[in-house]
Amino acid sequence: MSPLYPPIEPYAHGLLSVGGGEGVDPNQIYWETCGNPSGRPVLVVHGGPGSGCSAGSRRYFDPARYRIILFDQRGCGRSTPHAADPVTDLRHNTTDHLISDMELLRRHLGVDRWSLYGASWGSTLILAYAERHPERVSGIVIAGVTTTRRAEIDWLYGGVARFLPQEWERFRAAMGPTRAAHPGSAHLDPALAVTRGRDLAAACARLMEHPDPEARAFTAREWCAWEDAVISLEPNGRRNVYSDRAPAARLALVRICAHYFAHGAWLEEGILLREAGRLAGIPGVLIHGRQDLGSPFATAWELARAWPGARLIPVTDSGHTGSESLGKEIIRALDDFADGDARGHLPS
């Protein structure tokens, strides 16, 4: 079984202007290319939303066979303007904008068709892009499948509380309506308590626009504390995966996450599953941890049933943050796609 490939550095990088709205500074997205300039093009679509791309993602790909393309989605990583700055307008940061950005980047780099790899939120964006532009996609590998249905948001920020009642009560108190209206409030009025995850996301989105930087910092810390609590129950969960981010990266992540989840990612409920037939002819490998508490396995199973030609690989020892065996499955799938025509080299 292949280990991670050695660390590599980009051979090219830049900022691509992708526009904005009338009277606003244009958004610029950071991009980089690594590996073989003549290799099979593959785009890495990071999660979050708002986490930014990472150097570690480069190591899943054979640099001799792949032209590896990474980018930071609007408002995060090295893209500008940055969402940690409260004056950055997020109205021009939606799923449709990100799909358009991916198309602009494809044309900018002279790519006709590319493979797509991503995890978590990245899988939602991959599916949305591929269903809109199936002719531009040669293959897809997804780990940690999500479709960002409102039902999935409600589970992650509400339903899963049955396993973490104390932690969720703290999270709800930090994000609930009373604090959203009065950020200095120490307690949530039980009469105003909310239970739907999307309501907490909406409250967080309002708090992340508060003029007081301490209120925004507190909100970001509490959001990340909840995310850390959820993954702490995984067999390979690491402490403070979200909370240990640098302050600016943490602010951008939480602000963008809440912005997207409060709006259901601007997707019709269930549309990515209903439209999965548009992916027919695109080979896909879906890799999902059986012990993923925040994004339960059922979503991956539903997608595999709806997508003709997709193969689902359950990983018993993994949750949302992965495991060694999940990483090996990712590398195996990407190696198979790099061998000749991906359509003829799906894992057996």
DSSP state for residue 76 in the 8-state scheme: S
DSSP state for residue 136 in the 8-state scheme: G
Return the active site residues: 120, 292, 320
Nearest partner of 193 among 175, 181, 206, judged by Cα: 175
Between CA 89 and CA 176 the distance in angstroms is: 23
CB 175 within 8 A of CB 218: no
CB neighbour list of residue 268: distance below 8 Å, 6 or more residues apart: none
Between CA 190 and CA 173 the distance in angstroms is: 9
The residue with tokens 């899963």 is 160
Residues β-bridged to residue 14: 31
Between CA 256 and CA 90 the distance in angstroms is: 8
CB 34 within 8 A of CB 68: yes
